[in-house]
Structure 1
Amino acid sequence: MATGERRARETSSDALGRDATAPQEHRAARAGAAAATKPATINDVAAAAGVSRQTVTRALNDLPDVSPTTKQRVQRAAAALHYRPNRAAQRLVRGRDVTIGFVVNDLRNPYYPELASELTRLAAERDWAVMMTDLGGPHGDDRLDALLRRVDAVIGHLGHRADSHLTSSLPTVLLDDAPARGATVQLDFAGGMRDAVAHLDGIGRRRVAMIDITGEPSARMRMLDGALRTAGLAPALRVVAAPTHEGGLAAAESLARGLGASGNPVDAVVCFNDLLAVGALGGFARAGIRVPADVAVIGIDGLEIGEIVTPRLTTLAADRRALARHAIELVAALLRGEAGEHLSRRVGHELVLRDSA
């Protein structure tokens, strides 16, 4: 065959190859433009490449039974869409372990280490690993970004960061947050608050204050007021404090000054969490206010420390093992491809009566 004829045929063959792939490339380009405002999903790649979701998974994980031509088509579509594969799904397909990122607000609160203990034990049963980061203090966003680059899924308290730091390709389970994107495990205080108010009313404590955290009144504060209204009692006096032991100390000392000056002093205090409540016990003791003789104190969380303080702390206790189990199960559901916006669990609170109320 003459050199000129051979070159003509090669040129014609290249043109035919380009024409054959053009529809797929056009689909990817159109999908890429549509995905500019949101991360591409495996379904987007499948649609652009004209294959099934399962074929995309096999092609991107170098698994058998996918032809080289199809694999190349899927890879081109994924590149055009800037698709980031779900690392956890890749590991599951290849039989490797999964790493969960556990995000907390402040490790100085014993609630988080106690929850982390339950979470790591349940994760270990699946041969999963857990990495933890604390968002408190400076550079919290930087620490979160570093964690997200190293994990396959996230469980935790993200608050306003949920939308700005996570993508739909990273399975996410939010704890005690308003549902945003992804699955959620909600802490349900309503029943526990009703039980707490009924108990206080039953022992003659009807002038209630709440040591709440800074900012707008919390959901816990609103639920307390709702329970008080249902019982025919006045709304709670709100005292604002940092969510720390020191915040509880200062808030209780402030309330103690009011107890001496007011003609209608409070006789019961509900605290946003147990850490504040333990601080409040110390603050009342410093001020010479007796618990529970002068004022009853109730915390929220059910921490083990409530058993060793004096007086022992009455609290609304959450089942942290149930909370951790729900979170792990929701991560597994997300890894199986279930839609996160339809996944939600609730964990209630039980009134645990001890000496402080």
Structure 2
Amino acid sequence: MQPRLKDVAELAGVSIKTVSNVVNGYQFVKQETRTRVEQAIAELNYRPNLTARNLRQGRSGVIALAVPDLDIPYFAELATNVITAADRHGWTVLIDQTQGERAKERLVVAGIRAHLIDGLLFSPLALTAADLAARDDRTPLVLLGERIGRERTPYDHVGIDNVSAALQGTAHLAALGRRRIAAIGARRAASGATARLRLRGYRKALAGAGLAEDPTLVSHVEAFHRADGARAMAALLDSGASPDAVFCFNDTLALGALRTLLSRGVRVPDDIALFGFDDIEDGRFSTPSLSTIAPDRQGIAQTAVDLLAERLSAAVPERAPQEVCASHELIARESTLGR
């Protein structure tokens, strides 16, 4: 027979309610008592009946993650981290993608699948502050990525400092003596908030290094895919802009640019140094390996899931929405340092 809550309580010498509080992650349990219960759980190999617990709480045990595009490795790797973090709460993750289209994003926040899920983690691109203000769905929501509008929303938000990160990446190229630093990834679309912030960081780094900004070195793209990076790099080479370094607004753009450079016989980093953003796995195994900015994806996922868990927990009182800025790290590899 599978051990029951009652068996754990008897072994730990506590009440069934206390065991339930520990299992459900309630804060108000003495550490000594919590340790005793956890030891009993481990000794008996007790596993909570999640289905029964969710039914008692009127929940499905399912949360949703909505991202723009799973073809972009950053979002696929973020989804993996969210699934790992959610599993610690016994949750299943339903994944949706919006292609960054406003109509689809509005459907997500409107609660079209509210009957299926307990909470929502959402990384929007085209959503507006007005769209969020009009939301009347009561499903707990945590926003990922860029802030929507200048005013703080009534929802928890987890992101990174894109301006600071882009500044660091561009400054790394300038510190290596590069003076014609191009940027690939600027966008004219309304959904380009991330691109605008990274462009701002790029410009601040140029100013800090005493380099004049040359508009011919800033390349716009339709999307953040490899093909866009390849086309943008080809256009830069054909234009005669003569960059000696390129800061790409994500790693997939950089990998596309790298393909164009190598096919044209351009040596990386000898002739042109190349820098990406996101630290996707492909960039660690490219030749040359890709220098990049590494956001703390695991921290972003864990923080977002924990914030959602707080919203779902009756033990945590209603609180003001939190703004969390996750860390990032510059990782210099062969595409800027050489072998």
Partner residue, 1:353: 332
Q: 2:78 aligned to 115, 118, 121, which one?
A: 115
Q: Which aligned pairs between 1:291-302 and structure 2 lie closer than 5 A?
A: 291-302=268-279
> Which amino acid in structure 2 is aligned with residue 99 of structure 1?
V
> Which amino acid in structure 2 is aligned with residue 104 of structure 1?
V
Partner residue, 1:155: 121
What percent of counterpart residues are identical? Answer: 32
Q: 2:142 aligned to 145, 170, 173, which one?
A: 173
Q: Give the secondary structure class of the aligned counterpart of 1:111.
A: helix
Partner residue, 2:45: none
The 3 A distance-change label for structure 1 pair 164 and 150 is farther
Partner residue, 1:225: 203
Q: Identify which range, 179-188 or 194-203, moves more after superposition.
A: 194-203
Q: Distance in 1 between matches of 2:88 and 2:74?
A: 22
Using the size of structure 1 for normalisation, the TM-score is 0.67
Unaligned stretches of 5+ residues in structure 2: 1-52, 190-194
Q: Could you give the per-residue CA deviations for residues 239-269 of structure 1, whole angstroms, max 9, x where no partner exists?
A: 01121111011001111113xx34xx22111
* 1:124 lines up with 2:93 in the alignment: no
Shift of 1:182: 0.6
Partner residue, 2:307: 330
Q: Give the secondary structure class of the aligned counterpart of 1:103.
A: strand
Structure 1 ranges of 4+ moved more than 6 A: none
RMSD: 2.6
Q: Which aligned pairs between 1:1-357 and structure 2 lie closer than 5 A?
A: 91=54, 94=57, 96=59, 98-136=61-99, 140=104, 144=108, 146-161=112-127, 164=131, 166-167=135-136, 169-178=138-147, 179-215=152-188, 218-235=196-213, 237-241=217-221, 242-258=223-239, 261-262=240-241, 265-336=242-313, 342-357=321-336
Shift of 1:149: 4.0
Partner residue, 1:60: none
Q: Identify which range, 144-153 or 295-304, moves more after superposition.
A: 144-153
Shift of 1:97: 5.3
Q: Which has the larger radius of gyration?
A: 1
The 3 A distance-change label for structure 1 pair 115 and 141 is closer
Contact 1:97 1:127 in 2 (8 A): no
Matched positions, count: 264
Q: Could you give the per-residue CA deviations for residues 109-157 of structure 1, whole angstroms, max 9, x where no partner exists?
A: 1111111111111101111111000112887359735434421211121
Task: Flag the structure with higher helix content.
Answer: 1
Q: Distance in 1 between matches of 2:196 and 2:298?
A: 24
The 3 A distance-change label for structure 1 pair 141 and 176 is closer
Contact 1:191 1:349 in 2 (8 A): no
The 3 A distance-change label for structure 1 pair 133 and 107 is same
Q: Give the secondary structure class of the aligned counterpart of 1:108.
A: coil
Partner residue, 1:57: none
The 3 A distance-change label for structure 1 pair 301 and 94 is same
Shift of 1:168: 5.6
Contact 2:163 2:200 in 1 (8 A): no
Contact 1:191 1:348 in 2 (8 A): no
> Which amino acid in structure 2 is aligned with residue 301 of structure 1?
D
Q: Distance in 1 between matches of 2:75 and 2:309?
A: 22
Q: Give the secondary structure class of the aligned counterpart of 1:278.
A: helix
Q: Distance in 1 between matches of 2:243 and 2:318?
A: 47
> Which amino acid in structure 1 is aligned with residue 234 of structure 2?
E
> Which amino acid in structure 1 is aligned with residue 262 of structure 2?
A
Shift of 1:289: 2.0
The 3 A distance-change label for structure 1 pair 281 and 339 is farther
Shift of 1:286: 2.2
Unaligned stretches of 5+ residues in structure 1: 1-89
Shift of 1:177: 2.0
Q: Distance in 2 between matches of 1:133 and 1:316?
A: 26
Q: Distance in 2 between matches of 1:318 and 1:220?
A: 13
Q: Give the secondary structure class of the aligned counterpart of 1:324.
A: helix
